[in-house]
Structure 1
Amino acid sequence: MFKGLTSDYTKQGFKMWGNVQCCLMVVLILSVDWTVGIKDQDHDHDHSADHHQHLHHGNDAAHPHNDGEDKPCHKLSPHNADFAFSLYKKLASQPDTQGKNIFFSPLSISMALSMLALGAKGNTHSQIFSTLDYSALTSDQVNDGYEHLFRMLDHNQDALLLEIGGAAAVQKGFKPEDKFLKDIQHFYKGEAFSVDFSTPDVAVQEINKLIAKKTKDMITDMVKSLDAATVMMLINYVYFKGKWEEAFKVEETSKGDFHVDENTTVPVDMMNRNGEYEFYYDQGNFTSIIMLPYNGNASMMIILPDQGKMEELEKHISKDHLKYWKDKVHKITLDLYMPKFSVSASSCLGDTLKDMGMVDAFSDSADFSGISKGAKLAVSKVLHKAVLSVDEQGTQAAAATTVEIVKFSALLFKTEVNRPFLVFIVEKNTRSILFMGKITDPTVYSKQWAVGTRSESKALFRPEMQHHGQCGVVGYITKEEATRVLTGRFECPICNCKSRIEMQNSKRTAAALRLLPCSCTDIHTRPESFTWYKYNTNRNTWEMISNESEQYRNRVHTYN
């Protein structure tokens, strides 16, 4: 019945997650002083190449939806899914995402761009709709669909919390079209408020405060800077918190290995539960499908390709496969193992959206006369950030999207999820993909760092740098990073001496490593002369640690 299952499925546990924290932010900046040139090439959006290549289904074929798409939001769901997979494939194909985690909320991005489309006219509007796969829909169908989707998704149950909304931060003195603001409020729950963008630092604080409030402090410092010429920022947020129907027991969590690739293994906390799960093994595509339901109307879908099959799967996966797999899953008893982890992913989507056909919005050809007839506006940036955290109890996720608008002047199967996999969080009633992504390395952002810098320089060095640019750096690093240290890639920038290292036993997800500085550093003899920081991965900020802490004064032990 499960022909094609390898020995991995009979000898190992099926390891999977429990609780997800997810934070997302997208920033679209419309600028009045845009000077970036647009390449003279054809950016027409062609969905057919990606969306109609099907994976092998053996003798089975994916069937279209026949269950009555009479609800307005159901008209959006297949188009939103096509956009989600099209965007995913673009992100997965970029050189700087190779070997990295990918995670985003396609629904949040779609809503943000749909809000933007309310003020777009002519080719600008057509290109936004084409990019979103809305070309076959009218503006009324899209807006009515989102109005209905908001009503259906914005619910608060005992075990499932889902909050979605929007906002429009408007420059004091700037007068957007009344219809634009009314439509944002009516269709996208976007309430307008005044901001003084001429004082960017203050505006950043106000906007970040709003985003933090709406995402329950999961996104606290998304907007880093603003152009003083900004006249409006559109904000969309999604917050999700759900509990598994069947939670994992904390006492069953144990250490295990996750195979990032054929040459790299990282240690993770593996949760374990023996019970019934909806499962399907697609022999033609060498892929396992597992459904993990939440209490309420949402589920997590795990798509686990066999070793070495992820790239092939990514090239052809589409919404048809999700529908096919959902129809095929059936309950079996699994000894399920799943990693407990936190990951983070961020990207700049401007060039990606241009490649998908949304060109004019970023150029002097942009027509946003639906926002303002008296000001020339254009999009300058689209930024996106997402954080995902998983534990034994359930899932917590948040997403925020901002559009910054500036004036333009230029059996019992023992099976493990122990290798890269795709993850989807889907809402059943509206058939919406709330979040999706690929987990390549679940340890990348689960580690914490303690960084010591010379107090006189007050320099802060990010752990993701190839080297820290200063002696006396202490913190958690992965085995891969430890290997780089062992091979001499971390060298003292002052005297070029290789730092000595000490590996320490650790119960943490990431390997604990202490860099012992070379002879030119007095970190051990004079620890009081250093200012210590820890990197808070949930808030993505550096926090100062008291110099009086014995934990750091006593040969600078790793931070817990």
Structure 2
Amino acid sequence: MRYIFYWILVSATSTLADKFSDNLYQLFAKDFRNENLLVSPFSVSGVLAMCYMAAEGESAKKLKTLLGFSEDKIKVAEKYQKWLGKVKMDYQVNYEGSRPLSPNYESLVKEYFKADSNIVPNRTEPVIKITTYWKFHDRIIKRILPKEISKALFKNNITLTDPWQYEFDAKNTKQADFKISENKTVPVQMMHQRNVFRAAYFSDLQATVVELPFHSRQMSLLLFLPNKVDGLWEMEKKISDFSEPLNTAEAILALPKLRYGWRLRISERLEELGLGPLFTNEADFNLFGNLSSKLGDIFQNVFLELKEKGAQSVPPSSQKDTPRSAPVVFSFNRPFAFLIKDESTTYFQGHVIDPSKINQVNME
């Protein structure tokens, strides 16, 4: 499975970074209460870390305060450099205008963010793909000095290529009803897998949590199924950075087959969180030598596909000759939420309201 995104820091600064991530997601969850959603606050924090490398004065202070960045910018860069070894993250920097990027800044982002890397299309079909585009431009008023405008376009891709640990048998994928509200159902293709899963019910969430591991086992898809069809919104307020222990149980997992693509504007939400001045002439980013710059816009292009493909077939039961009780059934046949994370970091978060809707966008 593959992911491309713009999506937090650990250690003592993780509290502020996690709070930023959760607050950003909650803004999207509220706006998309009746629509499918996938977003990567982790990718956004990576974008803002690159911004921080060039930030001065009040701009640097706002980023430091909101995300818990260290005063030492090199330490911040080193933290994100470590993630380059865990997930495939590619940064591209392009600029236009009469002024090139500041040599110091260009050198820093190349060394720590590998921003000069060329993105080579991966032949593996993506399961999740997120690309975050963001741009800077200088603060000179265009109508006065039109030839002096300098712009920089940044592109951050996070790519994970990893199938499920165990595949869903395509022969067991069948049409079923998905209840999007108390009074409305839609037909969907529902995948089925009988296996031993890690799962548990949590009364505080009023929901069941099921883990679906990827082949490498470095990351898992955590699925959150509310008791009630209208219980998603209240549950989502409580699942940020979920890390509770799960039990093991033989079960049948029924999961909708999904395919979506859409475009999210990140800038407006960052303004709501207190970063509005970074998009105005009050901003102070040193990208073009001695000329101050401001943030232009930030978008995430998102692609999500959940399908049967796995690395292995489901293993036969070791208790074949022993009488067994009927397996538990986890049927995700109503709105549910999900996280994609490893043991310490949430990379992607979202929810499914209506699996029958496809909103494809150009991901280039």
> What is the rounded CA distance, in whole Å, between the counterparts of 1:304 and 1:126 in structure 2?
40
Counterpart of 1:176 in structure 2 is 101
> What is the rounded CA distance, in whole Å, between the counterparts of 2:96 and 2:58 in structure 1?
26
> What is the rounded CA distance, in whole Å, between the counterparts of 2:131 and 2:48 in structure 1?
22
Counterpart of 2:320 in structure 1 is none
Match among 278, 302, 306 for residue 361 of structure 1: 278
Measure how far apart 1:241 and its partner are. Answer: 1.5
Counterpart of 2:49 in structure 1 is 114
Measure how far apart 1:172 and its partner are. Answer: 5.7
Change beyond 3 A, Cα 1:358–1:88:
same
Conservation of the 8 A alpha-carbon contact between 2:136 and 2:296? no
> What is the rounded CA distance, in whole Å, between the counterparts of 1:415 and 1:220 in structure 2?
28
Change beyond 3 A, Cα 1:100–1:375:
same
Conservation of the 8 A alpha-carbon contact between 1:338 and 1:418? yes
Q: Which amino acid aligns with 2:223?
A: I
Counterpart of 1:445 in structure 2 is 358
Measure how far apart 1:275 and its partner are. Answer: 1.3
Report SS of the residue matched to 1:234.
strand
> What is the rounded CA distance, in whole Å, between the counterparts of 1:445 and 1:412 in structure 2?
32
Give 1 or 2 for the bigger CA radius of gyration.
Answer: 1
Match among 148, 153, 156 for residue 233 of structure 1: 153
> What is the rounded CA distance, in whole Å, between the counterparts of 1:345 and 1:102 in structure 2?
9
> What is the rounded CA distance, in whole Å, between the counterparts of 1:439 and 1:317 in structure 2?
15
1:89-488 → structure 2 map (5 Å cutoff):
89-94=26-31, 97-131=32-66, 133-135=67-69, 138-151=72-85, 153=86, 162-171=87-96, 173-191=98-116, 213=121, 229-296=149-216, 297-307=218-228, 308-319=230-241, 322-323=242-243, 325=244, 327=245, 329-369=246-286, 371-394=287-310, 412-428=327-343, 431-445=344-358
Measure how far apart 1:278 and its partner are. Answer: 0.2
Q: Which amino acid aligns with 2:345?
A: S
How many pairs were matched up?
A: 335
Q: Which amino acid aligns with 1:306?
A: N
Change beyond 3 A, Cα 1:394–1:233:
farther
> What is the rounded CA distance, in whole Å, between the counterparts of 2:131 and 2:17 in structure 1?
28
Conservation of the 8 A alpha-carbon contact between 1:85 and 1:317? no
Report SS of the residue matched to 2:34.
coil
Conservation of the 8 A alpha-carbon contact between 2:3 and 2:130? no
> What is the rounded CA distance, in whole Å, between the counterparts of 2:48 and 2:165 in structure 1?
34
Change beyond 3 A, Cα 1:214–1:372:
farther
Change beyond 3 A, Cα 1:252–1:346:
same
Conservation of the 8 A alpha-carbon contact between 2:69 and 2:76? no
Deviation per residue, 1:62-118 (Å, 9 max, x gap):
xxxxxxxxxx96566655433321111011223xx2301110122221111111110
Match among 11, 16, 21 for residue 84 of structure 1: 21
> What is the rounded CA distance, in whole Å, between the counterparts of 2:132 and 2:24 in structure 1?
21
> What is the rounded CA distance, in whole Å, between the counterparts of 1:125 and 1:394 in structure 2?
44
Measure how far apart 1:426 and its partner are. Answer: 1.2
Q: Which amino acid aligns with 1:341?
A: L
Q: Which amino acid aligns with 1:134?
A: G
Conservation of the 8 A alpha-carbon contact between 2:6 and 2:41? no
> What is the rounded CA distance, in whole Å, between the counterparts of 1:314 and 1:367 in structure 2?
36
Conservation of the 8 A alpha-carbon contact between 2:196 and 2:248? yes
Deviation per residue, 1:224-246 (Å, 9 max, x gap):
x9999452112211111112222
Q: CA RMSD in A?
A: 3.2
> What is the rounded CA distance, in whole Å, between the counterparts of 2:74 and 2:123 in structure 1?
29
Measure how far apart 1:309 and its partner are. Answer: 1.5
> What is the rounded CA distance, in whole Å, between the counterparts of 2:65 and 2:263 in structure 1?
24
Measure how far apart 1:427 and its partner are. Answer: 2.8
Conservation of the 8 A alpha-carbon contact between 1:25 and 1:385? no
Which has the larger displacement, 212-221 or 142-151? Answer: 212-221
Report SS of the residue matched to 1:435.
strand
Conservation of the 8 A alpha-carbon contact between 2:98 and 2:150? no
Measure how far apart 1:220 and its partner are. Answer: 11
Deviation per residue, 1:437-461 (Å, 9 max, x gap):
1111122117xxxxxxxxxxxxxxx
Conservation of the 8 A alpha-carbon contact between 1:290 and 1:302? yes
Measure how far apart 1:135 and its partner are. Answer: 4.9
Report SS of the residue matched to 1:242.
coil
> What is the rounded CA distance, in whole Å, between the counterparts of 2:60 and 2:104 in structure 1?
16
> What is the rounded CA distance, in whole Å, between the counterparts of 1:262 and 1:440 in structure 2?
13
Change beyond 3 A, Cα 1:226–1:432:
closer
Q: Which amino acid aligns with 2:22?
A: F
Q: Which amino acid aligns with 1:350?
A: S
Report SS of the residue matched to 1:84.
helix
Report SS of the residue matched to 1:245.
strand
Change beyond 3 A, Cα 1:166–1:77:
farther
> What is the rounded CA distance, in whole Å, between the counterparts of 1:443 and 1:212 in structure 2?
32
Measure how far apart 1:22 and its partner are. Answer: 4.6
Q: Which amino acid aligns with 1:266?
A: V
> What is the rounded CA distance, in whole Å, between the counterparts of 1:246 and 1:177 in structure 2?
48
Deviation per residue, 1:309-358 (Å, 9 max, x gap):
21212234332xx12x2x2x011111111111112332212121011111
Report SS of the residue matched to 1:358.
helix
Conservation of the 8 A alpha-carbon contact between 1:212 and 1:220? no
Change beyond 3 A, Cα 1:305–1:281:
same
Change beyond 3 A, Cα 1:337–1:444:
same
Q: Which amino acid aligns with 2:186?
A: V
TM-score relative to the length of structure 1: 0.54
| Percentage of pairs with the same residue | 19
Change beyond 3 A, Cα 1:381–1:212:
farther
